[in-house]
A and B are shown apart, each in its own frame.
Chain A
């Protein structure tokens, strides 16, 4: 009595599933045939895309060779309202976001967190930020773009009359691309690196390779949609790391104009709404308080192009709460900016992580990621750049 054939479906189904998964990724890797374009044509093409309307899903992930910062801040942690840590979290973690764009002045980005969401809405006159977890909204009135543009035009005209050589300011997107290309040319090799498929669309691969040996950035690949010129994905490779250090790209994209209602935002009842000061108000406030007695020292810029190092003057480490001090007691404990209301456990956890990440170097302590290095010197200066720590140490000793 042979009943074994009844097990047959149970054997076939997993094989079919694996085959489907494998062939699915194989289709995604197939390279489409597209008319050849030079790097310059491609850059011009990108510049023309700013008026386009589209929507889609963006996936972002990064591998900076750091301990996972997201693990230290629990979801809904108090630190999420701190703009610096939030920006850090947005840049370093893995995220999925819905993006809606209609021309240059309407956009909505929805960062989809588990059981939560953060929204940025920009329309012609207002900008909103809304965090569903804290139920807080921030509102800013945007300056009247037409007036601002007219003002800028008038200033340009005036300047142009003063300096005739400014007459050839780029006016068309193509000219803009030209200037862009001219600027990145000396230290960057720009090449078209074949084609690829991104979010189910054919795209050109634009590859920017810094020729500077000092920088940590290996290459930057930009996928440009073959039909519209909208950049679909950006991948940053770090030197000496096989996996990309940072990728952000569409996993799905739709080039139809999004519903206009998406760009309207009314804060929900019960939300805490903060009004951000307009540029004029901020200026007026600053003037009313009187200009500071002496302007703080400006950051110094060392080097150029890809291996640029930014040096913040002595004392800035203290201002940022990064005072290293002497001895163990002050040492690591003060690296984080500790604010009232922060959960002590959370602070301790984040500090432990920092302690792991920081290494002792000649004349200070350094944080090395695969893309960026930061050096806090013993005398309180901060140096940062897309270069190795040894370069920062050398720059600090000059």
Chain B
């Protein structure tokens, strides 16, 4: 496990992705700072207008922007690479020569992807808070309900929020893991995973498919705002966790079925 994590986080690609994610809040904050005079109210991503008053909102704006595209993209790269990457490098059979077992390898790979989800989310949130604090005034944060919390309480909520987003991405990671067991070409698995995230979001935007929406793994992705209400609404967290567990169960067992019956040739 430890070696898997060190391998993951020693790769230049991982750091490049984390760096790209960190660029999102920095870009938002700098652009707002440079053009802070005439902002059109009610336009642009959520929380954008609050940034000039309180720099801590940069985290939230960045998350809203990152969740539909950038986070799924990076998760797709990491999760799609898990098995197919080893197969492509020809290292998979050496990994399985050691008496580790295929189930354990799958679990370790999945845990690595999950850890990356958390680190990626935290990167966006923390960079957002830091750059916001550098460029804008910082103070007690106004929640969606109009109540105000102190900075300490706000960071507590941010942590919960990062956890929520991580849980949201677990289903996608499981899908990526499964796709990764199907192929020896990592790029294909990465692209397929990221494309699935896009397809699910498009389906989620069509009102004609309303019956399907509660079953899409993207359905609760923007529900993180429930942690910015006073009192906190927990129902979406629970619904989200149940849904993602379902996806993990389905695609985890599929990945097991595929990976344990597959002939490892490379």
Q: Which residues of A contact B142 (CB under 8 A)?
A: 135, 268-271
Q: How many CB-defined contacts (below 8 Å) exist between A and B?
A: 93
Q: Which residues of A contact B261 (CB under 8 A)?
A: 3-4, 6-7
A112 to B229, Cβ gap below 8 A?
yes
B145 to A110, Cβ gap below 8 A?
yes
Q: A135-B50, A266-B147 are in contact. List 13 more A-B contacts (CB 8 A).
A: A17-B250, A68-B207, A112-B226, A112-B233, A115-B46, A116-B46, A116-B144, A117-B145, A119-B145, A259-B231, A265-B147, A268-B147, A269-B53
B64 is an interface residue with CB less than 8 A from chain A: yes
Q: How far is the CA of A13 from the CA of B250 in the complex (A)?
A: 6
Q: Which residues of B contact A340 (CB under 8 A)?
A: none
A7 to B257, Cβ gap below 8 A?
yes
Q: How far is the CA of A255 from the CA of B207 in the complex (A)?
A: 34
A119 to B253, Cβ gap below 8 A?
no
Q: B54-76: which have CB < 8 Å to A? A: 64
Can you sample 25 A-B contacts with CB below 8 Å?
A: A3-B261, A6-B257, A6-B260, A8-B257, A9-B253, A9-B257, A10-B254, A10-B256, A17-B246, A17-B249, A17-B250, A78-B42, A98-B233, A114-B222, A115-B46, A116-B46, A132-B146, A133-B42, A265-B146, A266-B148, A268-B142, A268-B148, A269-B53, A269-B142, A271-B146
A134 is an interface residue with CB less than 8 A from chain B: yes
> Known contacts being A17-B246, A57-B235, A115-B64, is A10 close to B257, with CB within 8 Å?
yes
B20 is an interface residue with CB less than 8 A from chain A: no
Q: Which residues of A contact B257 (CB under 8 A)?
A: 6-10
Q: Taking each of B53, B146, B147, B253, which has the highest tally of chain A beta carbons within 10 Å of its own beta carbon?
A: B146
Q: Shortest Cβ distance from B76 into chain A, in angstroms?
A: 22
Interface bits A99-120 vs B (CB < 8 Å: 1, else 0): 0000000000010101111010
List residues of chain B with CB under 8 Å of any chain A CB: 41-43, 46-47, 49-50, 53, 64, 139-140, 142, 144-148, 207, 222, 225-226, 229, 231, 233, 235, 246, 249-250, 253-254, 256-257, 260-261
Q: Which residues of A contact B139 (CB under 8 A)?
A: 269
A141 is an interface residue with CB less than 8 A from chain B: no
A267 is an interface residue with CB less than 8 A from chain B: yes
Kindly identify which residue among B222, B231, B249 contacts A262, using a CB–CB cutoff of 8 Å.
B231
B253 to A117, Cβ gap below 8 A?
no
Q: Shortest Cβ distance from A306 into chain B, in angstroms?
A: 31
Of all chain A residues, which has the CB nearest B146? A130
Q: Taking each of B53, B145, B207, B257, which has the highest tally of chain A beta carbons within 10 Å of its own beta carbon?
A: B145
Q: How far is the CA of A57 from the CA of B236 in the complex (A)?
A: 12
The 10 lowest CB-CB distance pairs between A and B, nearest first, are A268-B142, A9-B253, A117-B144, A7-B257, A130-B146, A115-B46, A76-B42, A10-B253, A10-B257, A132-B144
Q: Which residues of B contact A71 (CB under 8 A)?
A: 207
Q: How far is the CA of A147 from the CA of B142 in the complex (A)?
A: 36
Q: Which residues of B contact A12 (CB under 8 A)?
A: 253
Q: Which residues of A contact B222 (CB under 8 A)?
A: 114-115
A344 is an interface residue with CB less than 8 A from chain B: no
Q: How far is the CA of A361 from the CA of B254 in the complex (A)?
A: 59
Of all chain B residues, which has the CB nearest A134? B42
| A-side interface size class | 35 or more
> Known contacts being A4-B261, A9-B256, A117-B229, is A14 close to B145, with CB within 8 Å?
no
Kindly identify which residue among B49, B53, B260 contacts A3, using a CB–CB cutoff of 8 Å.
B260
Of all chain A residues, which has the CB nearest B210? A94
Q: How far is the CA of A188 from the CA of B235 in the complex (A)?
A: 38
Q: How far is the CA of A3 from the CA of B256 in the complex (A)?
A: 12
> Known contacts being A10-B256, A252-B235, A262-B231, is A132 close to B148, with CB within 8 Å?
no
Q: A85-99: which have CB < 8 Å to B? A: 98
Q: Shortest Cβ distance from A10 into chain B, in angstroms?
A: 4
B53 to A270, Cβ gap below 8 A?
yes
Q: Shortest Cβ distance from A257 into chain B, in angstroms?
A: 14
Q: A1-41: which have CB < 8 Å to B? A: 3-4, 6-10, 12-14, 17
Q: Which residues of A contact B146 (CB under 8 A)?
A: 119, 128, 130, 132, 137, 265, 267-268, 271
Q: Which residues of B contact A78 (CB under 8 A)?
A: 42
Q: How far is the CA of A262 from the CA of B146 in the complex (A)?
A: 11
Q: Which residues of B contact A213 (CB under 8 A)?
A: none
A77 is an interface residue with CB less than 8 A from chain B: yes
Q: Shortest Cβ distance from A260 into chain B, in angstroms?
A: 13
Q: Which residues of B contact A268 (CB under 8 A)?
A: 142, 146-148
Q: Shortest Cβ distance from A331 into chain B, in angstroms?
A: 29
Q: Shortest Cβ distance from B51 into chain A, in angstroms?
A: 12
> Known contacts being A115-B225, A117-B145, is A14 close to B250, with CB within 8 Å?
yes
Q: Shortest Cβ distance from A374 into chain B, in angstroms?
A: 24
B250 to A10, Cβ gap below 8 A?
yes
Q: Which residues of B contact A259 (CB under 8 A)?
A: 231
Q: Shortest Cβ distance from B170 into chain A, in angstroms?
A: 15
Q: Which residues of A contact B47 (CB under 8 A)?
A: 115
Q: Which residues of B contact A14 (CB under 8 A)?
A: 250
